[in-house]
Amino acid sequence: MLIDRSAEVNIATKYQTTALFAAANASCCFSSVEDGLSHMKYRLLFLWLIALSIGKLPSANAWQAPILLDDFESYGEGTLPVKWNAQLNSKLVPLTKEFFDDNEWFYIEKEGGRTFVRAFSRGESVHIAKENGDGYDWRLSQNPIISWDWRANVLPDGGREDKDHLNDSGAGVYVMFSLEGLLIKRPQAIKYVYSSSLPEGTVVTYGKLKVIVASSKLDGMGIWKTVTRDLVADYKKVFGEDPPDKPLFIRLWSDSNNTKSQSSADFDNIMLLAR
């Protein structure tokens, strides 16, 4: 059977031309970050140009746009990250100040030209979530990579994810895949954590919740780190099967309730990428 590839080639050429045009534009603007292009946009452009330069820019019908879930640049300092939801009685509901108090909160911070969200807990567990379909349509077959920046400011003293009674994580990025069960819904999820005490790469199992240590205090804290995880590969590794194509939601997390201590962590640039 003959296949007409001309349309595909034309569109692929258009992508490459657009990338080169974007590069030309970017070169004129690198000295003026404050003019509007965020660090995130540079990073997306950079990834794209690398793919182009090594000849790995996929054909047009295989190429998937990266999804920028949130870079928090659209919020004012001290405001709530209202693109995200609170959870109430197992349901995601609009985020309001009533969900927070002095001991547990997520608020927007600005520092050195960067806008991000800070999670704080004192003897509590605090989280916000963003449902798949709420402003983004995420399919692992198209965007299997999850990436984010985080910075641990204070990690729960003595927290360790492999002990039930000390199970606190100063920062977590939690991907929920399914909720199964008739009376009691059991989540199938991967939770990437910034651990107070376990080394990077550690995997801890709580039934269908798999905890993967993505960063560790053993390697330092107090500086921004970028984490990039192949969610499909991680899922296969910890569950021994292919993941469902459409995860349910992403949750940002911080807790210090078991150790009765404190946690403070910052999140930024949450992205879903193609391979």
Binding site for Ca ion (CB under 5 A): 71-72, 115, 167-168, 255, 257-258, 268
- Spatial CA neighbour of 118 closest among 261, 262, 216, 272: 262
Q: Which is nearer to Ca ion, 4 or 164 (CB)?
A: 164
CA–CA separation, 61 and 64 (whole Å): 8
- One-letter amino acid identity for 77? E
Q: Based on CB atoms, which residue is closest to Ca ion, 143 or 254?
A: 254
Q: Which is nearer to Ca ion, 71 or 234 (CB)?
A: 71
Could you give the count of Cα atoms lying within 13 Å of 7 in the half-sphere of its Cβ?
A: 3
Least distance between Ca ion and beta carbon 203 (Å): 18
Q: Give the pair of three-digit tokens for residue 3.
A: 């296949």
Q: Which is nearer to Ca ion, 167 or 261 (CB)?
A: 167
> Would you say how long the chain is, in residues?
275
How far is it, in rounded angstroms, from Cα 109 to Cα 43? 21
Closest CA to 171 of 107, 217, 203: 217
Query: What's the closest the beta carbon of residue 259 comes to Ca ion, in angstroms?
Result: 8
Smallest gap from residue 73 Cβ to Ca ion (A): 5
* Triad 134, 144, 113: Cα angle to 5°: 65
Nearest approach, Cβ of 55 to Ca ion (angstroms)? 31
Q: Which is nearer to Ca ion, 42 or 63 (CB)?
A: 42
Q: Least separation, in Å, of the C-beta of 123 and Ca ion?
A: 10
What is d(CA 54, CA 46) in angstroms, rounded to the nearest whole number? Answer: 12
In contact, 183 and 192? CB cutoff 8 Å = no
As a 3-state breakdown, the chain gives helix, strand, coil percent values, each rounded to 5, of 20, 40, 40
Name which of 87 and 115 has its Cβ closer to Ca ion.
Answer: 115
- Tell the smallest beta-carbon distance from residue 40 to Ca ion (Å): 6
